[in-house]
Amino acid sequence: MTAVAILGTGAYVPERIVSNDEAGAAAGVDDAWITRKTAIRERRWAAAGQATSDLATAAAGAALAAAGITAAQLSLIIVATSTPDRPQPPTAAYVQHNIGAVDAAAFDVNAVCSGSMYALAAAEAMVAGTGGHALVIGADVYSRILDPADRRTAVLFGDGAGALVVGPASRGPGIRNVKLHTFGELSGLIQVPAGGSRLPPGPQSVESGLHYFAMDGRGVRRFVEEHLPQLVKQFLHEAGVVPAEVRHFIPHQANGVMLDDLMTQLGLPGVTVHRTLTHYGNTGAASIPVTLDAAARQGALSRGDLVLMAGFGGGMAVGLALVQW
């Protein structure tokens, strides 16, 4: 089996900056309320003509440039998204065409906000077994599925895409371990009720607002508090790593206040926690690769540093990855 590493990162966020006052207007909340509850100050929303594949394509180009490879060298493209361009075909097929990756198989995964970690796990396993290079992309355009009057969701989300080029490690172990968990009994905490085979699209479902993203915020917070600390500790133990060895922590950018509370439970002494939510909000499956790219481009990651990534979201799904930079 080939050792696999992250060879390059890239990200893209739309140009339009949306303030808290604008995002919260229809929900009756202002900048002070949103900042106090979430630590988010602004987010980016896609332009009218932009779809998820457009954001993903831009992030892919940046990641390929950082890795120093061409699209023609890719054998695999995986797009993690819960806001695809269309129900069919996979958004990854559009990206494959857009970047000219003619030899790459392309497919989507949907594990909501944990999606990029699920995509990374699949890519790591496939590259380890067969070699080649894979492109992992997390991309979402949540601004299209939010109920602007729902203060529990409308103020949290932004649009964006982050990409990772995964390939054979030229030095060190690269990706040390990846672990995935799903708690299907809690799948009702986060959902878009209509638009699928259970409740097909129609005038009544649209009129009832069932195509909007819905979330039980308190239930999600309770899930994170009850499950994530223990899962992270178990994950590090299985990887043979003590918490003090972890230098960087890149969590899903769900809510800044919740992340502050989470850090007191994780027990990661001396770790640097990386955040992009202040300016980008929760970008769904894009949030971890966008934040990893920001840390890499700022020069915050040094060779040999242990980087822990933790995704959590609808399903309920958790994805953990440990990477030696």
Report, as residue numbers or ranges, the catalytic residues: 113, 252, 282
CA atoms within 13 A on the CB side of 88: 1
C-alpha–C-alpha distance, residues 214 and 170, integer Å: 44
Q: Which residue has the tokens 């242990």?
A: 306
d(CA 260, CA 207) in angstroms, rounded, equals 38
DSSP 176: E
For residue 320, what are the contacts with CB-CB under 8 A and spacing of at least 6? 117, 177, 178, 179, 180, 231, 232, 235, 308, 309, 310, 311
Alpha helices, DSSP H, located in the chain: 20-24, 31-38, 52-67, 91-99, 115-130, 203-207, 217-238, 256-266, 277-280, 287-297
Residue 239 and residue 71: Cα distance in Å, rounded? 33
Backbone angles phi, psi at 304, to 5 degrees: 90, -15
- Give the Cα separation of 44 and 22 in Å (integer): 12
DSSP state, residue 8: E
